Amino acid sequence: MIILNLQDIKGSYDLMLGLGSWCGPSLNLRRHNWRRFSFPLDWMISNSIADVSRLLKNKFSGFMDLENLQRTDGYAHFLDDGVAIFPEEGGTEPVNAHFIHDMHYNIISVHDFPIIPNVDWTVMYPSYKEKLNQRIMRFFEKIENSPSVLFIRWGAATPEEAIELKTTLSELVKGPFNILLLQPLDGLKGVIDMNWTIDGICSVQVPLDNPNDEAVWDYVLNGLSLTNFWA
């Protein structure tokens, strides 16, 4: 019986990247200087791991196509690959961005479409789609050519959903890879291994109350390192 706990995935990887469900994995990989590339799910909300598996299985076909998009309630800061953009005329507050929901894949862009007075959000769509397509192509290039990969995702997942994700990724990744799942649990104070017996998947429970808690992220990421394969 294989139990892949947190200590078992420690070591060096040639590529580490986030798979949602929000910006946390990408933010903390960047904080540790392990994020060398921009990928399509870095700054989006993808609450369902099953939807992410479906997206990967379809190789991003139709992802964020204009006919599937709908502006929804909510806004966040307008970011350029995670960096806040400020008004050209100056100011201390970053520009805000619309929440744009891909109704087909149930994934939300939260940082890509700036709120500009008297300008419809679709005006920015052509430049956004070009940037997204570049990130998708980079995603496939890097996972296909990296000797070892670690995928990191924050969000609830059943063992069956995790196995589906692993199965889908195994058709895309050429070399060995592991999946690290951080599963938030209300009222938890520390990090707990879930002791799943799924080869290649490590799942840990983490506190729900503060997803931005750097101490929790540092505990989980401690012992990992990035090689210079893509340097």
pLDDT at residue 164, as a whole number = 98
User: pLDDT (tens digit, 9 = 90+) per residue, 37-81?
Assistant: 999 999 999 999 999 999 999 999 999 999 999 999 999 999 999
- Taking the CB of residue 8, how many other CB atoms lie within 10 A of it? 12
Containing structural domain, residue 185: 6-226
pLDDT at residue 208, as a whole number = 94
Asked if residue 111 is part of any domain, the answer here is yes
Strands 149-154 and 15-18, sheet pairing: parallel
pLDDT at residue 1, as a whole number = 62
Asked if residue 231 is part of any domain, the answer here is no
Closest CA to 36 of 226, 179, 222, 176: 226
Asked if residue 1 is part of any domain, the answer here is no
pLDDT at residue 222, as a whole number = 97
Considering the entire predicted model, what is its pTM? Answer: 0.96
Q: What is the mean pLDDT of residues 77-92?
A: 86
pLDDT at residue 93, as a whole number = 85
pLDDT at residue 4, as a whole number = 87
Question: Helices in the chain by DSSP H: which ranges?
Answer: 24-31, 49-57, 125-145, 159-170, 214-221
Asked if residue 147 is part of any domain, the answer here is yes
Residues 110 and 23: their CA atoms lie apart, in Å, by 10
pLDDT tier at 92, thresholds 50, 70, 90 = confident
Number of domains in the chain: 1
User: pLDDT (tens digit, 9 = 90+) per residue, 114-137?
Assistant: 999 999 999 999 999 999 999 999
User: pLDDT (tens digit, 9 = 90+) per residue, 161-218?
Assistant: 999 999 999 999 999 999 999 999 999 999 999 999 999 999 999 999 999 999 999 9
Beta bridge partners of 24: none
